[in-house]
Amino acid sequence: MSEHKVETHPPSDEFARNAHADHATYEKMYADSIADPDAFWGEHGKRVDWIKPFSKVKNTDFTYGQVDIKWFEDGTLNVASNCIDRHLKDRADQTAIIWVPDEDDGSDQHISYQQLHAHVCNFANVLKKMGVGRGDRVVIYLPMIPQAAYAMLACARIGAIHSVVFAGFSPDALSQRVNGSKAKVVITADGGPRGGKVTDLKGNTDRAMEKVEHDAKVLVVKRVGDGVRNWVEGRDHWLHEMEDGIGDTCEPEEMGAEDPLFILYTSGSTGQPKGVVHTTGGYLVYASMTHQYTFDYHDGDVYWCTADVGWVTGHSYIVYGPLANGATTVMFEGVPTYPDAGRCWKIVEDHKVAQFYTAPTGIRALMGKGNEFVEKHDLSSLKVLGTVGEPINPEAWNWYNRIVGRGKTPIVDTWWQTETGGHMLTPLPGATTTKPGSATKPFFGVKPVVLEPESGEVLEGGDVEGVLAIADSWPGQMRTVYGDHERFMNTYFQQYKGFYFTEDGCTRDADGDYWITGRVDDVINVSGHRMGTAEVESALVAHDAVSEAAVVGVPHEVKGQGIYCYVSLMAGHEPSEELKQELVGWVRNEIGPIAKPDFIQWAPGLPKTRSGKIMRRILRKVAANEHDQLGDTSTLAEPEVVDDLIENRLNK
């Protein structure tokens, strides 16, 4: 760790007074949740409505070979009626979803809970008419339109299992996911507008269906209305035609707490994506509780998460968490830079957004465009800012805090995974003293441990570094890899017996705050000194000329591993040998001689997953001169950037 003084930002007294949890409340609730999980979750499990109440709370086993996770196992409920029907008594006319389309043309829609009920029942009846029932799988390949939420909730209502596939994915990635789950229906749209361009989703689906080996139907939402090029009679159906006269009542299915709710693939940053399975009861309890406490959500707030529903963040924090809490949730079809880099701030101003939740990649991109885009908007409605997806560099954290939050809006840096269902390490805005770059403290019920990577020994106390594992189950935990319980056990429970292994590295400081250092694979060992690549990246990004950086280890004869840096420059800065030397000296000064970069390659772009995470495994291969073995690149956003990096690699 670098020796720099870390800034601290305690919550203001005023915020703490009005928050769901101040510091003392957090401490008490956290201690209770660890001391007696059955009592704690038995109580908080009641935050959702059960058809048949549970009598058992926790029944979980992390033993390798027999891993089995059950929460609230004898209770029954329906997720859609928790997200809709139970709110109709008090808030039928309240807006459930504010939909903001790609074009900034004033056609934003407000969908009330009453309207949401009708849409979801309609949709559910269509699925039933197409032969979908309890336990059947449905693939959703839609842009960010309200029908994506209707489709998810319609599946939940009739007990079908959805598998959402991000609309930016290729026909190949789609066909793999349709085949993988033997889905009965694939839901798509005639087109997906994003950043002023339209993706031909129906065309992609047609191509994907050529590789689908079983009988599956296609349901098409009319979003664009320009017609479709190809139509397969008997297979393809328009949603609006199917909905005609179908009726907007549909009894919710009574589901067991452990019945699967959805399948969702991980981002594929470290390898082939894993088909994560989440179930009904524990997931909903955990998503709704984290949404309320992490964002300090209060009735009347307008809440906005910029993620796509194709990621777990969109599942837990656009749809299920907020709607279970009766919130108003914003769904945005477009991108932060269209029509210009002020789009997000305009939406915040237009809809008086109170909680804004985004990813570091977005923050860094907007930071590079200049402050004027932020400053021309009235952001006084903001109460909490959130970040998720990657470690956030202190530089980006400070910009978010000072420019977007005017120094007054708490930032919650939420560490979690597709696998965890909801937040695991996060500040609570009225309770936690934050530090730029730290995900701080565990959420209720979460028992993080730092393990010595080789021996697996639990490291106690402060100022320790190792791999992050979780010592006991929490309700939002994934239950299995779809169709492959072996892979589930081997990935998460084999290496460190008795623990859930996160595949991430971390440090815990003297205050007990956690700092994620990146993937375990991204920890490099230079002459026996272990170091997270995130630390070197943060040092680089702190230099005025650097907009983004990715750092990987490279085999080195003397040091074991050397440091290879890919650097993108801010607009107005040109690559030069002088600048390279300056950056080498800069990192040396910021961290120490051990962190001195061996290679700095100028990178016009970095390879990222569709969810905006840097794919360091590809950069490692390029740095090691093994670019003929790149592995699974199906979730890569812009494959072209890799060609440039290969051509200009330095370690030939």
Contacts with ligand ATP, residue ranges (CB under 6 A): 266-271, 273-274, 388-391, 413-418, 439, 502, 504, 516, 519, 611, 613
The answer to whether 420 is a known ligand-binding residue is no
Could you tell me which residues come within 8 angstroms of residue 202 by beta carbon, excluding any fewer than 6 positions away?
A: 188, 189, 190, 191, 220, 228, 229, 230
The answer to whether 391 is a known ligand-binding residue is yes
Identify whether the C-beta of residue 506 lies closer than 8 Å to the C-beta of residue 534. no
What is the nearest approach in angstroms of ligand ATP to the Cβ of residue 326? 26
DSSP structural state of residue 446: -
Amino acid (one-letter) located at 186:
V
The answer to whether 74 is a known ligand-binding residue is no
Q: Which two tokens stand for residue 508?
A: 């815990």
The answer to whether 182 is a known ligand-binding residue is no
What is the nearest approach in angstroms of Mg ion to the Cβ of residue 484? 16
The answer to whether 22 is a known ligand-binding residue is no
Q: How far apart, in whole angstroms, are the C-alpha atoms of residue 485 and residue 67?
A: 9
What is the nearest approach in angstroms of ligand ATP to the Cβ of residue 210? 26
The answer to whether 389 is a known ligand-binding residue is yes
Nearer to Mg ion, 94 or 272 (CB): 272
Work out what residue 613 binds among Mg ion, ligand ATP, none; the CB cut-off runs from 5 to 8 Å by kind.
Answer: ligand ATP
**If 0-12 CB within 10 Å is exposed, 13-18 middle and 19+ buried, where does residue 424 land?**
buried
The closest alpha carbon to 280, from 161, 187, 131, belongs to 161
The closest alpha carbon to 58, from 257, 229, 331, belongs to 257
Could you tell me which residues come within 8 angstroms of residue 149 by beta carbon, excluding any fewer than 6 positions away?
A: 97, 116, 309, 318, 319, 323, 331
**If 0-12 CB within 10 Å is exposed, 13-18 middle and 19+ buried, where does residue 626 land?**
exposed
The answer to whether 541 is a known ligand-binding residue is yes
Q: Which two tokens stand for residue 152?
A: 């998810």
The answer to whether 49 is a known ligand-binding residue is no
10: left (phi over 0), alpha (psi -120 to 50) or beta: beta
The answer to whether 519 is a known ligand-binding residue is yes
Give the H or E element holding residue 335.
Answer: none
DSSP string, 348-373: HHHHTEEEEEE-HHHHHHHHTT-THH
The closest alpha carbon to 287, from 103, 378, 422, 104, belongs to 422
What is the nearest approach in angstroms of Mg ion to the Cβ of residue 419? 7
β 523-526/529-532 pair status: antiparallel
425: left (phi over 0), alpha (psi -120 to 50) or beta: beta
Binding mask 254-273 for Mg ion (x = CB under 5 A): ------------x-------
Q: How far apart, in whole angstroms, are the C-alpha atoms of residue 211 and residue 504?
A: 35
Nearer to Mg ion, 266 or 438 (CB): 266
Nearer to ligand ATP, 160 or 309 (CB): 309
CB neighbour burial string for 345-379, b if at least 16 within 10 angstroms, e if fewer: bbbbbbbebbbbbbbbbbbbbbbeeeeebbeebeb
Nearer to ligand ATP, 152 or 396 (CB): 396
Work out what residue 519 binds among ligand ATP, Mg ion, none; the CB cut-off runs from 5 to 8 Å by kind.
Answer: ligand ATP
Nearer to ligand ATP, 292 or 294 (CB): 294
What is the nearest approach in angstroms of Mg ion to the Cβ of residue 519? 8
Nearer to Mg ion, 500 or 586 (CB): 500
Work out what residue 568 binds among Mg ion, ligand ATP, none; the CB cut-off runs from 5 to 8 Å by kind.
Answer: none
What is the nearest approach in angstroms of Mg ion to the Cβ of residue 269? 6
Work out what residue 439 binds among Mg ion, ligand ATP, none; the CB cut-off runs from 5 to 8 Å by kind.
Answer: ligand ATP
What is the nearest approach in angstroms of Mg ion to the Cβ of residue 454? 21
The answer to whether 491 is a known ligand-binding residue is no
Amino acid (one-letter) located at 510:
A
Work out what residue 547 binds among ligand ATP, Mg ion, none; the CB cut-off runs from 5 to 8 Å by kind.
Answer: none
| CA neighbours closer than 13 Å in the CB half-sphere of residue 609 | 25
The answer to whether 543 is a known ligand-binding residue is yes
Q: How far apart, in whole angstroms, are the C-alpha atoms of residue 502 and residue 453?
A: 12
350: left (phi over 0), alpha (psi -120 to 50) or beta: alpha
Question: Is residue 551 helix, strand or coil?
Answer: strand
The answer to whether 196 is a known ligand-binding residue is yes
Nearer to ligand ATP, 58 or 274 (CB): 274
Identify whether the C-beta of residue 402 lies closer than 8 Å to the C-beta of residue 377. no
Q: Which two tokens stand for residue 11?
A: 């919550």
Nearer to Mg ion, 266 or 432 (CB): 266
Question: Is residue 24 helix, strand or coil?
Answer: helix
What is the nearest approach in angstroms of ligand ATP to the Cβ of residue 267? 3
End-to-end CA distance of the chain: 31
The answer to whether 421 is a known ligand-binding residue is no
Nearer to Mg ion, 266 or 355 (CB): 266
Work out what residue 504 binds among Mg ion, ligand ATP, none; the CB cut-off runs from 5 to 8 Å by kind.
Answer: ligand ATP
Nearer to ligand ATP, 218 or 307 (CB): 307
Work out what residue 296 binds among Mg ion, ligand ATP, none; the CB cut-off runs from 5 to 8 Å by kind.
Answer: none
The answer to whether 546 is a known ligand-binding residue is yes
Nearer to ligand ATP, 59 or 491 (CB): 491
For residue 282, give Cα distances in angstroms to 164, 291, 516: 20, 14, 26
Work out what residue 413 binds among Mg ion, ligand ATP, none; the CB cut-off runs from 5 to 8 Å by kind.
Answer: ligand ATP
Handedness of CA 374, 375, 381, 384 (dihedral sign): positive
Work out what residue 258 binds among Mg ion, ligand ATP, none; the CB cut-off runs from 5 to 8 Å by kind.
Answer: none
The answer to whether 194 is a known ligand-binding residue is yes
What is the nearest approach in angstroms of Mg ion to the Cβ of residue 190? 33
The number of beta carbons lying within 10 Å of the beta carbon of residue 593 is 8
Nearer to ligand ATP, 141 or 265 (CB): 265
The answer to whether 99 is a known ligand-binding residue is no
Nearer to ligand ATP, 22 or 413 (CB): 413
What is the nearest approach in angstroms of ligand ATP to the Cβ of residue 476? 13
* Residue facing Mg ion at closest CB distance: 266
The answer to whether 417 is a known ligand-binding residue is yes
Angle at alpha carbon of residue 78, lines to 73 and 81, rounded to 5°: 150
Applying CB under 5 A, the residues found at the interface with Mg ion are: 266
Annotated binding residues for CoA, written as ranges, equal 194-197, 313, 527, 588
Annotated binding site for Mg(2+): 541, 543, 546
Known binding residues for ATP are 389-391, 413-418, 504, 519, 530
